[in-house]
Amino acid sequence: MRPAVFLDRDDTINVNADLPDAAWRGTPGDLLDPHHTHLIDGAESAIRRLKDAGYAIVIITNQGGVARGHGDVADIDAVNDRLRQLLPHDPLDADDAPPPIARSLIDACYACPHHPSGVVNHFADNHAWRKPNPGMVAAAIDELNLDPNRSWMVGDKQRDLDAALAAGIAPERALLIGPGKDLPDLAAATEIILAPPPMPRVLAASRVVLHADLSGDPRPLADERVRETVIASARAIAERTGIELLDTSATDTALTATLAASRVAAMGFAAELRRVTNAWHTKRHSRALWLDRSE
């Protein structure tokens, strides 16, 4: 299973909002004319970096202009094919023209021509593929054998992210781009996607030993209730303070706790455990449980 970067199309990869009036056959925003298909600055470089990093590149686009009667599915394909030309698998030299459809950085394009306010009966509905519904993302995951756990979504509208989330993409892997959004553009999103994961913070294990005060009882921890209370208190303090308690062991005269924590934190843990259990033991037996030291 491959990871993928799912990309919205218009205003994520190609210019849309800033196109001239001549680009539209009807409602602005539904780009169905390949002659007005232009990449956003930095989009090609970003997509090439994602591809080189091993991600499948999958376009996920709503194209409700077809439902509104401004074009047909062939027009959607024409714009997508133009994007494939502008994003060839092999980089072009400066003087080269975009080649005919051949190998492209784009692995697949999924488009939904449906819209609930459409006038074309066949497409006048809120289809399962129409974002924010997850249909296109889910279909791509299934058909292209993609791993949603390692995949990302980048789009300029919340519905793009919602579609990905509903298909199993983690929220932290759904990136909103555009003016005034979380990230300015696809290039910035690519920096997030390709950033190395943070190194895990590894703490060496620290061990602390509490020694029982034997002046009143030579074997205070032989009492099962005392032993269980001390160990339960250790677990509760660890949970409350966020310290990972790796192990506890007790003899009749001492308790040993091993923690994934610094030595300073471990000694603080031991002091709190001594305080809490001394208070309990004093109330029950009229004497402290521990010597006033630990190691």
Which of 129, 154, 156 has its CA nearest to residue 63? Answer: 129
- Whole-number Å distance between alpha carbons of 76 and 88: 19
Q: Tell me how far apart the alpha carbons of residues 66 and 89 are, in angstroms, rounded to a whole number.
A: 29
Does residue 235 sit in the same domain as residue 121? no
Residue 268: give its domain's CATH number: 3.30.70.1290
Shared domain for 156 and 286, answered yes or no, is no
C-alpha 17/C-alpha 36 separation (Å) is: 12
Token code pair at residue 134: 């997850």
pLDDT at 99: 64
Q: Are 220 and 155 contained in the same domain?
A: no
In the chain, the number of structural domains is 2
237 shares a domain with 135: no
Domain boundary among 159, 174, 194: 194
Residue 244 belongs to some domain of the structure: yes
Phi and psi at 165, nearest 5°, equal: -60, -40
- Give dist(CA 133, CA 120) in Å, integer: 20
Note if 41 is an active site residue. no
**Residues 190, 213: one domain?**
no
- 247 and 165 share one domain: no
Amino acid 97: pLDDT: 64
Q: 283: domain range?
A: 205-294
Asked if residue 152 belongs to a domain, the reply is yes
Q: Which token pair is 29? A: 């925003």
Pair 253, 220: CB distance under 8 Å:
yes
pLDDT of residue 29: 84
- Residue ranges for the chain with pLDDT beneath 70: 92-102, 201-203, 294
Residue 60 · residue 163 · CB < 8 Å: yes
Q: Are residues 62 and 131 in the same domain?
A: yes
pTM summary value: 0.68
Same domain, 176 and 218: no
* Residue where a domain stops, chosen among 163, 194, 225: 194
Answer yes or no: 147 catalytic.
no
What SS3 class is residue 193?
helix
199: in domain: no
The number of beta carbons lying within 10 Å of the beta carbon of residue 168 is 14
Instruction: Annotate 8-42 with DSSP letters as a single string.
Output: --BTTTB--TT--GGG-SSSTT----GGG--BPTT
Number of H helices, E strands in the chain: 7, 9
pLDDT in tens, 230-265: 999 999 999 999 999 999 999 999 999 999 999 999
Query: What is the Cα–Cα distance from 231 to 208, expressed in whole angstroms?
Result: 13
Indicate which residue of 10, 30, 75, 185 is catalytic. 10
Q: Which one is catalytic: 8, 11, 30, 185?
A: 8
Count of C-beta atoms within a 10 Å radius of residue 136: 27
- The whole-angstrom separation of Cα 117 and Cα 27 is 12
> Which pairing describes strands 205-212 and 152-155: parallel, antiparallel, or unpaired?
unpaired
Q: Is residue 44 part of a domain?
A: yes
Q: Among 172, 194, 216, identify where a domain stops.
A: 194
Provide the CATH number for the domain around residue 96. 3.40.50.1000
